[in-house]
Structure 1
């Protein structure tokens, strides 16, 4: 999936989601989310003039077309900021429903503040359970949603390193040739691959010095009104 407007510093990046995570998300989508959306659909319909109501989804170009404030609009998904995403709806089986995946009890996309509160509450519950059951576990002073990036990075680095070792062993068994070290080429370096997945990898143009921090930015593609 391509992101830009909601990415760090508004820089374009590509995110990848693992199959196991998609299966977990689909279970949430078909159970808890479906029930929440159904309860909120009537209230959302009464407030439909406030929303960007989508009636055409172009999955090939990743663009949404619909009505916003009485006008036809087309938006590139990657150029949609958080405020617009929170107002983006589509007509479903039971009325309007948000196009956002994770929703609160009122059927709207969760805000960043709400996500932080969810993690604060989870941290408090964990501390309480540890104390009640005398588990002898240590927890950090606080747990933030940003910490998931660290967990993801460690997990992916281990996974990619093991994958490379397996590929190298198979190549050696097949040809008797010792493959180049993973760090010898950017495309085989697990650390750089994880940096790309996290959106932290900065490409330095050949004509710039290493300390320049030059970044090739893509032109931002925003929404446009239709006559």
Structure 2
């Protein structure tokens, strides 16, 4: 850091520390490479408020498109009128080179609305340039999209985990032609996702101490406190059962040491950019080490993904990434890295789908969130049956109010999934019974012209009904 006349090195360091820009904060530059204001200041505020880098990046693309659209009409954020914003919406939906649907536009509208709220707050504009409608002050489509729940049956999940990710054949044998990478790691990740209901950005960013796996320990089960890596940073506790921990064993014993050993040269080369942890304190909840030349202590559950990716421990024999799931170079796999694993697994599943022992595949590739839906439905079905058994055993129409409130299956699943609103969990109710079984019974002896059954027609219509609904 260079010297500045009249300012000491300590004062200059303190000044830069106060004005530190959070990692992942977008900065829009003009032709002279100067920050575009007040948009860049808005992004800085969003970063300080803890908005994740992925969302800010999406906001940046939206705002950049809006600015270019306005500039082509000799307008800016201050001079824009309602008609201009509505024209941008029309262009984005129907006239741009790559148009978007209602769901994508609603995300754009949220970004634009949030930007103008900031501009009004700092006095750059008087108010939003569009008038409130019956839907409120939003530019959104106003269309309420239902939750699309795509879950797996047991045979589908085993095919997903063992054949797609694990490189086995449908009958459980070894596929000698398999050329995949790290099947034990990938199978362990699938099992962890299914058995806990965690989102992909939650389980993929776990650190060893959070599962009690530091210092070579192998606990039978684990309880994980999610915070910074949870959706919207909403804290919740996650239970990791025995089966998920057991499937982690082959990966931790066979694959992970090999990955880490090969990554030593890369890790040593970037050592100064890493958070090197010297010890884990407070029963695995705090990490103390050197970050950017300073000795610091961090609460592990409050560490964001960017910090987790560079966190390593000094073992004496080398640097060991603290991430549970690691890839080449000893780095925690990114979302795009896990997507590549998923698409490779999907291609394998399609290759084996013609076998008699292979289960039916959906029309579109399985996503990791489908394991979360499967967890939610199986848990809800089990808890509902247990609650009914309890009521039957008590020979009472209703248990005590306290038992009903604390043991309500929907509330239990809501807490486990981390849903902010009960309405999100209630939408799973319609999937508790398979409606196609009732259709089979209703039209068992019926057939339409040409041999097509009502069941076939009903299945096709039901698939179309949920085709465009988004996942959560």
Coarse TM-score class (shorter-chain normalised): 0.7 to 0.9
C-alpha distance after superposition, 1:60-114 (max 9, x if no partner):
3711110011101111112111111000000236310110000112211111111
Q: How does 1:79-158 map to 2 (within 5 A)?
A: 79-92=302-315, 94-131=317-354, 133=355, 135=358, 137-158=360-381
Query: In proportion to residue count, which structure has more strand?
Result: 1
Partners of 2:317 and 2:390 in 1: how far apart? 49
Say whether 1:188 aligns with 2:407.
yes
Q: Tell me the matched-pair count.
A: 198
Bigger Rg, structure 1 or 2: 2
Structure 1 counterpart of 2:419: 200
Say whether 1:5 aligns with 2:228.
yes
* RMSD between superposed Cα atoms in Å: 2.7
Contact 1:164 1:182 in 2 (8 A): no
Contact 1:53 1:66 in 2 (8 A): yes
Q: Give TM-score, length-normalised by structure 1.
A: 0.76
Q: CA deviation at 1:185?
A: 2.3
C-alpha distance after superposition, 1:133-165 (max 9, x if no partner):
365723231221222211111222233345445
Structure 1 counterpart of 2:152: none
Partners of 1:101 and 1:136 in 2: how far apart? 31
Partners of 2:401 and 2:381 in 1: how far apart? 13
Q: Give TM-score, length-normalised by structure 2.
A: 0.38
C-alpha distance after superposition, 1:185-212 (max 9, x if no partner):
2310122211111111448xxxxxxxxx
Contact 1:100 1:109 in 2 (8 A): yes
Q: 2:248 aligns with which of 5, 9, 25?
A: 25
Distance change >3 Å, CA 29–CA 166, structure 1 → 2: farther
Does the residue aligned with 1:101 lie in a helix, a strand or coil?
Answer: coil
Of the structure 1 ranges 34-43 and 68-77, higher mean CA displacement relative to structure 2 is found in 34-43
Structure 1 counterpart of 2:213: none
Structure 1 counterpart of 2:295: 72
Partners of 1:136 and 1:23 in 2: how far apart? 25
Structure 2 counterpart of 1:36: 259
C-alpha distance after superposition, 1:39-79 (max 9, x if no partner):
21232123211100001212437111100111011111121
The runs of at least 4 aligned residues of structure 1 exceeding 6 Å deviation read: 176-179, 181-184
Say whether 1:50 aligns with 2:273.
yes
Contact 1:127 1:139 in 2 (8 A): no
Of the structure 1 ranges 136-145 and 105-114, higher mean CA displacement relative to structure 2 is found in 136-145
